[in-house]
Amino acid sequence: MALREKKRSNKMNSARLAVFDQSKYQWVFKYKLHHIPFWFGYHFMWWTLRIGSPVVVLESLLLPHAAVKFLFYMVFQMVGVYFNLYFLVPRLFEKGRYASYIIAFLLTIIVCATLVTTGYYFGDFISDKTFKELYGIDPNFFALFEGGALQSTTAAMTLAMSIKLAKNWIQSRTKQQELEKEKLETELMFLKSQMNPHFLFNTINSIFVLIHKNPMMASESLAKFSDLLRYQLYECNEQQIPLGQELGYLENFIELQELREDHNRIRLNVAIAPYARGNYMIAPFVLIPFIENAFKHVSRKNDQSNWIKMDLGFEKSQLYLYVANSISATHHSSTEAVRHSGIGLKNVKRRLDLIYPAKHELIIRQDENQFEVKLYLELQESEVPERILLSV
């Protein structure tokens, strides 16, 4: 036992050291300093192709004037590349301002090539030899600019742009494949979890009891139950659906759950703000897992307060959902319960990350008495009026 505990302690210490090391050198990745070896290798290869021998290149880099010239090439081309990728591309290219981007791109090449060319003169300044003795040519700025700096800078900028576009294409393609896979998995898992026999049996049994006590309420509940099944089977097959459809499904689900609950044991407090109709769309089934979890895992103890609170509101294009439920003192696995309810917490987070990147905030908290969820969601607006979408 002692040996096992010692091994476990060593593993934990190793994990702490790994986390510490990552945080210690985080600035290296933040400022792209890990790219320096790549650019050094790129320019070394470029010089090798021009001179013809890597050994000669290494020997020349030991000379001050050659090292300065190499440094000017590497540094100012890096500046041009990252200025293009992280300023011009997001500010102009990605916003469709192609003419402005091309002009700015060409000016960046010219400016960087000009700065690179000054490296020849700086190398000459720190050396005792003449310009021609150092470089084998006369100090003609335009010849140096056109013959070496401009070609090299254009090649570096084009290479970096090609790598960036290829990387973005791969990421976009991967994300699209993940979305398609997620959609298929979500549909299958919802059919298995939402349409489970336990839910069907209890709801039908509650409606059957109502038939004798309150036929009118039983008829209304049966209609809601029918709408619920129709929505799950037919009306939620798109990646984005009208917000009104999703809210109708939520209201039917909550009302049917209220029908089954014993209100003497569980206090329900549900507030859904009036929805100002618009053309807003939402991904189906991103809200229901949190509501379903509250009903499934609310405490049902006689010696404590048992409650569920839900609040759904809107502000322009932003949706706000708050769901909280009481938990028993011995219940310490609410997060695990969520994982097994509906499509599960892990899958909901994954769907939100894929469908609403940088457009949502999910906060989940748990203490000894309650489990609560806060979701802020930025909805997208459709060009087609919602009344037309709902009628399709």
What pLDDT digit, counting tens, does each position of 177-206 carry?
A: 887 777 766 665 554 444 445 566 777 877
Residue 41 has pLDDT above 50, yes or no: yes
State the pLDDT at residue 30. 66
Total domain count, the chain: 3
Same domain, 280 and 137: no
Judge if 244 and 364 occupy the same domain: yes
Same domain, 165 and 284: no
Q: Which residue type sits at 122?
A: F
Q: What does the mean pLDDT of the chain come to? A: 78
Query: Which CATH number does the domain housing residue 199 bear?
Result: 3.30.565.10
What is residue 29's predicted lDDT score, i.e. its pLDDT?
60
Task: Note whether 3 and 72 are same-domain residues.
Answer: no
- Strand arrangement, sheet containing 380-381: 241-242, 280-282, 380-381
219-264 tens-digit pLDDT: 888 888 888 778 777 766 677 888 888 888 888 888 888 877 766 6
Q: How many helices and strands in the chain, by DSSP H and E?
A: 17, 8
Residue 186 in domain: no
Residues 206 and 249 in one domain: yes
Which residue, 175, 206, 235, sits at the end of a domain? 175
Tokens of 208: 């059957």
Whether 9 and 40 share a structural domain: no
Q: Show the domain range for 15.
A: 1-26
Residues 350 and 230 in one domain: yes
Maximal C-alpha separation, the chain? 109
Among 162, 166, 146, 123, which residue's Cα sits nearest to residue 42? 162
Q: Looking at the structure, do residues 94 and 206 belong to the same domain, yes or no? A: no
Looking at the fold, whether 169 and 297 belong to one and the same domain comes out as: no
User: Has residue 180 been placed in a domain?
Assistant: no
- The packing angle between helices 36-51 and 150-193, to 10°, is 140
In whole angstroms, what is the distance from residue 77 CA to residue 93 CA? 20
What whole-number distance in Å separates Cα of residue 137 and Cα of residue 143?
10
